[in-house]
């Protein structure tokens, strides 16, 4: 007899469609006279939106994860990158992405169809928050025959120390970038589309954070494995109206689940969070935890705040209200860029690049407010950026009184993840938390 009632998400199919259409639209952009661009999930994607509605992005981290999920294809991509001379300890998303270009094979495959050639982007639009981001697209540009590339440097944080000069520095690059986009594409830039995309960005990010905040309740209405498939839409195109609208719809559904006591894990008896990207080819470890122990991973700073935007408010970690909800009306390009810059620079996942203490503070607050029994940290060999300072985070969380388990792995390179040993380690962790096995 289950402890809680559970039900599949009604919006699940729509999330899948948005993701599928994203990769289809990117691939078919040229057939419709449109443009393709490539950049990271962290990039200011609202800005290329001003080039028109037929300009389609491919963001590299979720693309790398999509490749990683297809283990055979990923192995071929990784080996192709290694054969080309790139070291095995580089970002595994990056190696999957480069390998896909080198093999000229697209990571998105329609059911029943052959794998297609990798659709070459027309230009690169990127920013530099992670240590790999800059060189990633320099190589992409080289591999794709020298496609034009523009990068925005955002190293003006941490947010609590951001100055007007720092904002000016980023906004100045954005203004130059818009001129570069017009020159590179031959298109006239539309500020109204930019403004709408900035509003959408803020709406997507605030709403996703509100959805994650609903997971504080017991039983949790969402578990992290499902959340990965939902938050990813924001990493694909947070500035898109479809994504922002979807999150509104999802939030309404999650509110209903909370009101009705619908659980993600029907026998929830222990709550944990993780950190950084999971080993994408092995998400079944979450199902194992749920089925064997009634363990729900309620999320992580990564799932909450790579896309979600949060602020500290009287010692609590809460979803950041959108500028538009605070009465901000964007009237011109410069204001749109300033709002976008200030908004993005405040995102939690941008802060730990400056010092692990920012991340520790947020993780400890999550552990308290989401009522966690323990924390499982992924020492992710595939991502130097998000693993930066994770050992310090572990110590801080332990000191705050939360048990921590670590496991080593790699988000995008299955060769560096030992599933059996990781599951055994999870068994040990559950035992140490006195969690009884479900019969």
Partner 1 sequence: MITTGIDVGAKNVKVVIQEDGKILGKGLVLAGLDMEGAIKGAMDAALKDAGISRDKVEKLYATGAGRKEVTDADDTYTEVGADAVGTVYIFPQARTVVDIGAEEGRAIRVDKQGKVVDFAINERCAAGAGAFTEAMARALELPLEQLGPLSLTSTKAVPMNAQCAVFAESEVVSLIHQKTEKQDIARAVHDAMASRITSMARRVGVEPEVALIGGVANNPGFVDSLQRDLELEVLIPEDPEFISALGAALLAAGIAK
Positions touching partner 1 (CB under 8 A) are 398, 403-406, 408, 416, 418, 420-421, 424-425, 427-428, 431-432
Give the tokens for residue 393. Answer: 């985070």
Give the tokens for residue 46. Answer: 């609202």
**Closer of 319 and 409 to partner 1 (Cβ):** 409
In degrees and rounded to multiples of 5, residue 288 shows phi and psi of -60, -50
Minimum distance from CB of 60 to partner 1 (Å)? 27
DSSP 188: P
CA distance 367 to 98: 37
Task: Enumerate residues 6+ apart whose C-beta is below 8 A from 266.
Answer: 2, 3, 4, 5, 6
**Closer of 252 and 391 to partner 1 (Cβ):** 391
Minimum distance from CB of 364 to partner 1 (Å)? 17
Minimum distance from CB of 424 to partner 1 (Å)? 6
Helices and strands of the chain, counted as H and E runs? 17, 12
CA neighbours within 13 Å on the CB side: how many for 215? 31
Minimum distance from CB of 369 to partner 1 (Å)? 23
CA distance 201 to 110: 28
Minimum distance from CB of 73 to partner 1 (Å)? 23
**Closer of 291 and 418 to partner 1 (Cβ):** 418
Query: Is 357 exposed, middle or buried, given 0-12, 13-18 or 19+ CB atoms closer than 10 A?
Result: middle
Minimum distance from CB of 384 to partner 1 (Å)? 17
- Please name every residue paired with 377 in a beta bridge, in sequence order, or none if there are none: 406
**Closer of 333 and 381 to partner 1 (Cβ):** 381
**Closer of 25 and 384 to partner 1 (Cβ):** 384
**Closer of 211 and 367 to partner 1 (Cβ):** 367
């Amino acid at each position: 007899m289950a402890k809680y009632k559970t039900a599949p998400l009604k919006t699940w199919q729509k999330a899948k469609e948005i993701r599928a259409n994203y990769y289809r639209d990117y691939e078919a952009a040229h057939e419709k006279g449109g443009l393709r661009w490539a950049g990271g999930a962290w990039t200011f994607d609202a800005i290329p939106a001003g080039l028109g509605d037929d300009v389609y992005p491919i963001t590299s981290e979720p693309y790398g994860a999509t490749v990683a999920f297809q283990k055979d294809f990923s192995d071929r991509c990784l080996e192709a990158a290694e054969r080309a001379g790139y070291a095995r300890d580089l970002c595994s998303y990056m190696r999957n992405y480069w390998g896909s270009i080198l093999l000229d094979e697209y990571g998105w495959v329609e059911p029943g169809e052959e794998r297609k050639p990798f659709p070459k982007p027309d230009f690169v639009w990127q920013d530099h928050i992670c240590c790999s981001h800059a060189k990633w697209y320099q190589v992409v540009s080289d591999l794709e025959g020298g496609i034009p590339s523009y990068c925005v440097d955002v190293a003006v944080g941490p947010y609590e120390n951001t100055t007007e000069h720092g904002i000016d520095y980023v906004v100045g690059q954005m203004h130059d970038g818009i001129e570069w986009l017009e020159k590179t594409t031959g298109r006239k830039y539309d500020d109204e589309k930019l403004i709408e995309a900035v509003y959408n960005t803020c709406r997507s990010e605030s709403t996703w954070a509100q959805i994650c905040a609903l997971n504080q309740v017991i039983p949790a209405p969402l578990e992290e494995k499902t959340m990965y498939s939902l938050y990813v839409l924001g990493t694909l195109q947070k500035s898109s109206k479809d994504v922002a609208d979807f999150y509104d719809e999802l939030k309404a559904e999650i509110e209903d689940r909370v009101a009705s006591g619908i659980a993600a894990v029907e026998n929830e008896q222990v709550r944990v969070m993780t950190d950084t990207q999971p080993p994408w080819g092995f998400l079944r470890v979450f199902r194992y935890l749920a089925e064997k122990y009634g363990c729900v991973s309620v999320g992580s700073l990564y799932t909450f705040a790579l896309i979600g935007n949060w602020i500290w408010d009287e010692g609590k970690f809460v979803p950041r209200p959108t500028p538009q909800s605070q009465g901000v009306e964007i009237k011109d390009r410069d204001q749109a860029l300033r709002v976008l810059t200030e908004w993005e620079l405040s995102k939690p996942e941008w802060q730990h690049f400056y010092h692990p203490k920012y991340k520790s503070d947020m993780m400890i607050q999550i552990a308290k407010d989401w009522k966690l029994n323990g924390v499982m940290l992924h020492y992710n060999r595939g991502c130097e950026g998000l693993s930066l300072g994770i050992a310090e985070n572990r110590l801080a969380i332990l000191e705050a009184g939360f048990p921590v388990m670590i496991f080593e792995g790699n988000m995008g390179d299955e060769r560096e993840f030992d599933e059996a040993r990781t599951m055994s380690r999870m068994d040990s962790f559950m035992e140490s938390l006195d969690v009884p096995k479900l019969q």
